[in-house]
Structure 1
């Protein structure tokens, strides 16, 4: 799942300049040989961006255009910086500095602290939330951990955007920012946060950039020393540069012109954190004589996936000079589109397809399930577990390990002691969660608070699903079910299918990608209301599509739980991408069956009746026997023997041994007695 956009030759320190150019495509070679002056490389997804810039640096060093120690290559993550250094060493460009903005600023400020600060380097706050908390407490604001995280994110956005506490209210309104606190309160906390840091002689990571930029602008001796060291700049992922990072870059470069920027405006997905693609899009306006190179040959994805990505962005209203990917790989299967009646069935279908791909030879580590928000992971964690498929959750905690879920489970266990069954289970769960601020009618607009709300909403929906199986269920039975779910999802999983949000998937790639939950209100997310926010959601969807090398499967569900009204709509981004009603193309999958119809529905009903009796005989929740999703899959497939039943997702070896005989009997129209479980 790492980047492999085009093969990299194994070179050594003795490789000459011509050898460095060997194996590059024409556009990559043009970029590599543009070693002086302002250069802008517009690099689409999978086009060999890192390959182009590392060969450009190595070629400049090999031809004597610049000494390696005078080069500063800047990117956005320590992982990406490490990748740059590794590739540059292989190309013989030892001594080149490859760092993140913050790492470069920290190194420089540490060295020049006596001149800039008049004393030693202050401590860099490892956990700035404690100063946010202190500021909120001084204002007598009652905030939980989620609200503190949102406040910290707002302050980080403001500082990245060069917005002071006094300017925050106006800037927040202009940018359509929104968290649970009013902009005025956020501004007060922001001011208190800055004061708390000053009192404790600490700075944060944004301060590193601000202080260093100010020093280069105002202290000629510091500016001369830094500019004498670094004379040749390469900025990766330039579409993600924020105003404070651009200010520092301008201070580094000064009035010189050896600046190369690389990026793809179609992959700008961090505007919420201050990123501004305008710096990339307007680079040629700022430097009219700049060399502009376009990398559009996509070595990652099949032409079918590339075509879908291009069609998605063809209607995007942005100025990117029309970057359009050209697929270089052999043909592959067309992307598929599947509609399901509910999320449980969608997850079961995804797990079933993943299991088939693994059986056919696709490594589990080369399969990814991507979703818009982390709270969507729970149903896929469960479906994969039932199917016996290991998984790795990237960029977030597993559902039952999240702080808000753990807290909710403690509260639900306490409430079960007083539950007399007079209140329906979903209402009981909702009332318990309301004690920690959850409210069905008023979800927060975004940020960590929204993620927390979605996690708690998932618990309420699990309760609604649970009572469809056990209508008279009480809290203690529901809690036992939750404990079973949590226990089954805590098994160690080092290798497996990747579960990831679209944001955390950026920069990665897999052979097979499932894009799930592709409904309006989710992608685009419901709190994206402005034209700019909707454009960013489209770009986020584009990033998801372009993570796939060989297979891409898109799906959505019309309801959250089985039996609920199917009111959801497919994402508006799918308009024009998927076959419309009545125009289904050859080879396009039919609408996925989820809640069974006709004969399947009858089988499903008989299976549920048998499961209830079996669960009661064992003294366990119905879920422990089989989930609804598994029963749906059994009803749909109608296996006739043990071998066919074993292929159904959720029917592992143990359940096959225990329940094969009664399940097959139910499918044959019989009414078997519950089996005894020792």
Structure 2
């Protein structure tokens, strides 16, 4: 037994009954089903401290998290509970733990301890080099696509040998002149995977997926190694278990020894020294959102079958959000099938209603958000750091950023070009990698001519050919440059200078290994990178100099915070940095609004959250429209987004969004439909274009039913106001509202004009990104001044207009597709009141179907129809090409 480190009762006195049960549980396997904001980190740290308080050894504990940030937070919390003994535990990410294991024991599977860890850019560079050698068309088969396929194999623990066998291919890694069958993608991937692994091995390098896969290989091939770690780690804790992929799942099983056949020792209290380790996993199947990275939700769903005698404890009390926010989240996630029932509740009270806003296009949506942020900051005293804007895809950030800049609001973008991916930083790190591991061909080739020293493509090609012919590394070929044929004096001179410089830097690094910051300084000075940037007239290069200075500061900080700092250790930490690690800590005030994708936002929380782009095809994503499992994942992503908000949630959407240069009509997201209506306070329920369409729907009315109470009674386009009569005479004649003027690219795309040629002297570039659009006054601060557009207060009102509208032809709209050119007013005269669940209908495209759900939303009423063979479609009733039977 170890020393008792704290009073057990102090660990449980402020916990709720379920949390207390989880902390005190004694047994082989425990799943803590922790809902969003239910205090899972607290339970996990208290459970570890509880074991230590009962005399278990800290060195027998392994706690695995998904981010460095989460690992650091857990370490801090444990140090506060149990003191310095916390240092004796392994608390790290999967990847960091695997690096430690491979550095110590990788030699058993051919990895020497100085191996390089390649990031995505290094991997893409390597694939590009291989593609050149194998004559693969990189435009058709991009390095990113090929890497994605290789990654899928590794996450499923499929070796390159198995992959070659599965496509009956006899390729031998390292062979030259091999021709891949044209158009055979499977063979191409198998050959690329084999050659890629061969080159990584030659360079003594691994990629991120290898860290897990090769550790599993080590445990399975070397029983003595797996036994060592099994007996070392008697208590294994895994956070965010729902995000584990197959390789990580197998790794956990290997570490726990559950498949070793050993029986638990019945006489030992606790896990003892024999038998499988105790395992505690914490997770929430409702927050499993990384299927695209290989995460397998079955790992958490099947935990009780995978680990015999497993106990599940659900944490449902939420300490983060108001009940209104939780009711919305519960309503959305309840639609997913095959989930363990869980209903979040809170003692924090109902709180503010969710605020909704329907914009006409992405620019107006962004402008309203910026305006609202400025308002709550000024009027309600909300700090910028307490606000986050979240979106489904990175591409959506552009209009949001423009609006923030125009409104002069401070923001930080998480997940843009990351610090360690900037060109100058990659160059400096490539020098350091090449010093630590001269066999690292990718990085040596990267720096051969950085800064320019007269060693171009020809020189690189000569060295590479020699290395290939002699089965040696690129740097080794430089060492033998005198033997390379065809090399002119003009090439040998700079090449030998490069070789000598690398020798000097390597010697310096060896003497100053414990001072990475000094090695960084020496590399920047000797290589000439810094001098070249300092001499440059380009203003961008000045910020590159700042970035290099920042790199040196990062190295110095690493030295101060790491007792046994080494250059290799510093390179390891830079390689293992993730998106979310860039975010400021809990008590740090960034003074900025945070903008990020929903995937990056997982695990974070903010008092005020804007969920943007809530439209079919944007969120849920277009890909999910045909696939129920992808739609279930999108719904979990919506649940994650909603539960990030602590105090107030905003949901916004755009009626028209530019896609591939075309303006597309966007239907409201089905997730908005799933949130009970009474929870949302709509500041603007329908976009202007939707109201316009609705008004033109009514053929009994001569023009379409604007009445004097309609807040759309007058509009301003680009600064010119129109009343009804002005508007109808210039735009309303039917021919103007033809398909070409409205539906194709008249909104949102940023170039074409609203409704055909500009008339009445208005600027009328309605959907453009210019600041004059949407009735703003053209100044940065006028974002959100769409009152003239949506409020109906400006301009005169006039009587009915007698011009009749030409009725357009019907155009089918399936809500699972966003149409890029739908006419303004097509409809089929069906009324939602006449459609009932169970009714049969025929659809021009999908055939015979049965109505399984109806939603009365007035002119935007939606029906859900099952067409058989798993094909379920949401259709906009008034525009669907259907006939009721």
TM-score over 0.5 for the alignment?
A: yes
| Of 317, 322, 333, the match for 2:341 | 322
Whether 1:632 aligns to 2:774 is yes
1:600 corresponding residue in structure 2: 715
Deviation, structure 1 residue 539: 1.0
- Note if contact 2:111-2:204 (Cα within 8 Å) is conserved in structure 1: no
Query: For 1:541-560, what aligned pairs fall within 5 Å after superposition?
Result: 541-560=638-657
Between structure 1 and structure 2, the one with the greater Rg is: 2
Q: 1:87 to 1:181 in 2, by over 3 A?
A: farther
Aligned partner of 2:332 in structure 1 is 312
1:210 CA displacement: 2.4
Match of 1:85? 75
Q: Does the 8 A contact of 1:344 with 1:561 survive in 2?
A: no
1:615 paired residue number: none
Tell me which of 124, 130, 138 is aligned to 1:129. Answer: 124
Is 1:591 matched with 2:591? no
Residue 783 of structure 2 is aligned to residue 649 of structure 1: yes
CA change 1:633–1:145 in 2 (3 A) is: farther
Q: Conserved in 1, the CA contact under 8 Å of 2:321 and 2:645?
A: yes
Change (3 A) 1:349 1:594: farther
Report the secondary structure of 1:106's partner residue.
helix
Deviation, structure 1 residue 128: 2.2
Give 2:600's aligned residue. Answer: 504
Contact 1:348 1:630 in 2 (8 A): no
Mapped to 2, the partners of 1:109 and 1:184 lie a distance apart of 31
Q: Distance in 2 between matches of 1:202 and 1:105?
A: 14
Kindly indicate whether the alpha-carbon contact (under 8 Å) linking 1:559 and 1:565 is maintained by their aligned counterparts in 2.
yes
Correspondence list, 1:371-390, <5 A: 371-390=391-410
2:658 is equivalent to residue 516 of structure 1: no
Q: Describe how 1:183-222 pairs up with structure 2 within 5 A.
A: 183-222=186-225
Aligned match for 2:101, one of 108, 114, 124: 108
- Mapped partners of 1:389, 1:169: distance in 2: 54
Offset at residue 167 of structure 1 (A): 6.2
**Partner of 2:234 in structure 1?**
231
With the length of structure 1 as denominator, give the TM-score of the two structures. Answer: 0.69
Where in structure 2 are the equivalents of 1:48-447 lying within 5 Å? 48-64=39-55, 66-92=56-82, 94=86, 95-117=88-110, 120=113, 122-126=115-119, 127-143=122-138, 147-165=142-160, 182-255=185-258, 256-319=276-339, 321-359=340-378, 360-397=380-417
Give the superposition deviation at 1:141: 2.2
**Secondary structure, counterpart of 2:716 in structure 1:** helix
Could you tell me which runs of 5 or more consecutive residues in structure 1 were left unpaired when the two chains were aligned. Answer: 1-12, 173-179, 404-491, 608-620, 637-644, 652-666, 670-678
Question: Which of 659, 662, 671 does residue 573 from structure 1 map onto?
Answer: 671
The range that moved more, 597-606 or 559-568, is 559-568
**Aligned mates of 2:387, 2:165 — CA distance in 1:** 44
Partner of 2:27: 36
State how far apart, in whole Å, the 2-side matches of 1:118 and 1:577 are: 53
Unaligned runs of 5+ in 2: 168-182, 259-275, 424-546, 548-588, 690-710, 723-762, 786-793, 797-885
How far apart, CA to CA, are the structure 2 residues paired with 1:389 and 1:297? 36
Alpha-carbon distance in 1 for matches of 2:22, 2:663: 55
CA 1:593–1:283: 2 relative to 1, 3 Å: closer
Aligned to 1:21: 12
Other structure's SS at 1:520 match: coil
Change (3 A) 1:340 1:254: same
Query: Any idea what SS the aligned residue of 2:657 has?
Result: coil
Q: How many residues align?
A: 516
Distance (whole Å) between structure 1 residues aligned to residue 23 and residue 655 of structure 2? 49
What is the Cα deviation at residue 16 of structure 1?
A: 0.6
- RMSD, aligned CA: 3.6
Following superposition, the deviation at residue 339 of structure 1 comes to 1.6
Bigger RCO of structures 1 and 2 (CA < 8 A, at least 6 apart): 1
Q: Which whole-Å CA distance do the structure 2 matches of 1:630 and 1:265 have between them?
A: 46
What is the Cα deviation at residue 82 of structure 1? 0.9
What per-residue deviation string (whole Å, max 9, x for no partner) do you get for residues 47-79 of structure 1?
011110000000111012x21110000111111
In the alignment, the residues of structure 2 paired with residue 286 and residue 627 of structure 1 have an alpha-carbon distance, to the nearest angstrom, of 54
Deviations 1:623-645 (A, max 9, x none): 9xx96566535489xxxxxxxx9
The CA distance in 2 between the partners of 1:576 and 1:50, in whole Å, is 30
Question: How far off is 1:306 after superposition?
Answer: 0.3
- The separation in 2 between residues aligned to 1:586 and 1:532, in whole angstroms, is 28
